Amino acid sequence: MVTEINGKPGGTVGKADKVDRLAELSARHDSDAEGGSLLREAFGRLRRSPMAITGAAIIGTFVIVALLAPFVVPYDPAAQLWGREVQPNHNVFVGPRAENWFGLDHLGRDQFSRMLVGAQNSLLVGVIATLLGFSAGALLGGLAGAAVGLGGAWGRRLDTVIMRFVDMMLAIPSLLIAVSIAAILGPSLTTVMVAVGVAQIPIFARLLRGSMLAQSHADYVLAATALGVRRRRIVLGHVLPNSLGPVIVQATLTLATAIIEAAALSYLGFGNPDPATPDWGAMLADAQRFLVGAPSLAVYPAVAIIITALGFTLLGEAMRESLDPKLRK
């Protein structure tokens, strides 16, 4: 550090000293400036977002409960161990007590055990339905987007055919698509997964194609084209990876939708009839019949569904915000 000052140019203080001092002051000025790549910046914003933290915490808890459920579950969720204590027809239900923390369901099964195992099955439904919708939708949308990007009359024709099909499916509400599929497959847990997943395909397809088209108009694509980079490399190496952001956000949000729609399908009677593998949707649907006498039977799975869906929605929305360049400060 230089404390002694000589103001005259070319004075006794050497040039090196004044450069050092300048560097130090510049560093002090820049101390709170941020740097880094777009993605890292987005991730940095995500980590500081209270929405994302809350969402991630909820999802984390949900996943841990789901994974540990088979090991910690106190009773067999399918066994009607206390069947005689409950008489739904005479409005006799058993609420929370020392041995059954959440009370008993309408058949005398331990509600707490069913909630734990239900977490596992609901997670399974959400993840598999989303994976199905995501992969098939991304395949269709990516194919259409790449077909346009790779150009040619055939590419555009392929795109038109795919997108007409997708638009057709979008014109029918997704729950009705799910209902018609569920009707074919008959009630089961697999039905719910497939029906909910297939209903999400057009959304993912449209999103990825739109995102790819938007990216293909970006300046860097023009630059790469001008530099003579091969089209296939531009589309697959640059456009596609850069277009995935909104699709991943949508997948996170779909995890929430899938769990809710699964419940709706259960309510319409296409849910899982197997008592050994309860899921929250089926539990909520079953409990609808006893809403007046034992509202808590519905409230446990309902609250679980709402909170879990909220977790995925919060994380998804926070991701969307952090990826949006317009919202950057």
Partner 1 sequence: MPLLAVDNLSVTFTAQGKRPVRAVDGVSFSLAEGSVAGLVGESGCGKSVSSLALLGLLPRRGVRVGGTATFDGTDLLRLPPKRMREIRGSELAMIFQDPLSSLNPVVPIGRQITETLARHRRMRGSAARKRAAELLERVGIPDPAARLRDYPHQLSGGMRQRALIAMAVACAPRLLIADEPTTALDVTIQAQILDLLGELVRSEGTALLLITHDLGVVAGLCDTVTVLYAGRVIESAPRHELFAAPRHPYTVGLLDSVPRLDAEQGQPLRPVRGSVTDAIDWSDGCAFAPRCDHYTMACLTGAPELTSVGGDRDGHHHRCVHPIHPTPEPSAARAAGEGSVR
Partner 2 sequence: MLRYTIKRLAQLVPALFGLSILLFFWLRLLPGGPENTLLPDDATAEQREALRESLGLNEPIIVQYGLFLQRLAQFDFGNSLQTGRPVMQEFTTRFPATAELALTAMLIAVCVGIPLGYFAARRRGSLLDSGAVAGSLLGICIPVFFLAAMLKVVFAEKLGLLPSAFRMSPGLHYTEVTGFRVLDSVLTGEFDVTVNAISHLVLPGLALSSIPLAVITRMTRASVLEVLSQDYVRTAESKGLRPHVVRGRHVLRNAMLPVITAIGLLVGSLLAGAVLTESVFAFGGIGSFIYESTQQRDYPAILGFLMLIAVIYVVVNLLVDLSYTLFDPRVRVR
Which positions lie near partner 2, rule CB under 8 A?
Answer: 164-165, 167-168, 170-176, 179-180, 182-184, 186, 256, 260, 263-264, 267-269, 284, 288, 291-292, 295, 298, 302, 305-306, 309-310, 313-314, 317, 326
65: tokens are: 């409960």
Torsion sign across C-alpha atoms 189, 313, 66, 131: positive
Binding partner of residue 305 among partner 2, partner 1, none, CB under 5 to 8 Å per kind? partner 2
> CB of residue 316 vs partner 1: minimum separation in angstroms?
25
Binding mask 22-51 for partner 1 (x = CB under 8 A): x--xx-xxx-x-------------------
> CB of residue 146 vs partner 2: minimum separation in angstroms?
22
Read out DSSP for 72-113? H--S-TT--TTGGG-BGGGTB-----SS-TT-B-TTS-BHHH
Read out DSSP for 203-237? HHHHHHHHHHHHHHTSHHHHHHHHTT--HHHHIII
Binding partner of residue 256 among partner 1, partner 2, none, CB under 5 to 8 Å per kind? partner 2
Alpha carbons 147 and 151: distance in angstroms, whole number = 6
| 3-class state of residue 129 by DSSP | helix
41: tokens are: 């910046």
Closest among 252, 215, 250 to 235, alpha carbons compared: 215
- The answer to the question of residue 9 lying near partner 1 (CB under 8 A) is yes
Q: Report the residue number, 229 or 310, with the smaller CB distance to partner 2.
A: 310
Closest among 318, 258, 321 to 55, alpha carbons compared: 318
Q: Report the residue number, 43 or 165, with the smaller CB distance to partner 2.
A: 165
> CB of residue 222 vs partner 1: minimum separation in angstroms?
23
Binding partner of residue 173 among partner 2, partner 1, none, CB under 5 to 8 Å per kind? partner 2
Q: Report the residue number, 241 or 269, with the smaller CB distance to partner 2.
A: 269
Binding partner of residue 302 among partner 1, partner 2, none, CB under 5 to 8 Å per kind? partner 2
| Residue 325 DSSP code | G
Q: Quick one: which of 172, 259, 279, 329 contacts partner 1 (CB under 8 A)?
A: 329
Alpha carbons 277 and 303: distance in angstroms, whole number = 19
Closest among 50, 42, 59, 49 to 312, alpha carbons compared: 59
> CB of residue 5 vs partner 1: minimum separation in angstroms?
5
CB within 8 Å of 16: residues ≥ 6 apart: none
CB within 8 Å of 86: residues ≥ 6 apart: 92, 93, 94, 104, 105, 106, 107, 108
- The answer to the question of residue 5 lying near partner 1 (CB under 8 A) is yes
> CB of residue 219 vs partner 1: minimum separation in angstroms?
19
Binding partner of residue 8 among partner 1, partner 2, none, CB under 5 to 8 Å per kind? partner 1
Closest among 112, 37, 22 to 75, alpha carbons compared: 112
Q: Report the residue number, 36 or 95, with the smaller CB distance to partner 1.
A: 36
Binding partner of residue 18 among partner 1, partner 2, none, CB under 5 to 8 Å per kind? partner 1
> CB of residue 34 vs partner 1: minimum separation in angstroms?
11
- The answer to the question of residue 74 lying near partner 1 (CB under 8 A) is no
Q: Which residues bind partner 1 (CB under 8 A)?
A: 2, 5-9, 11, 13, 17-18, 21-22, 25-26, 28-30, 32, 329
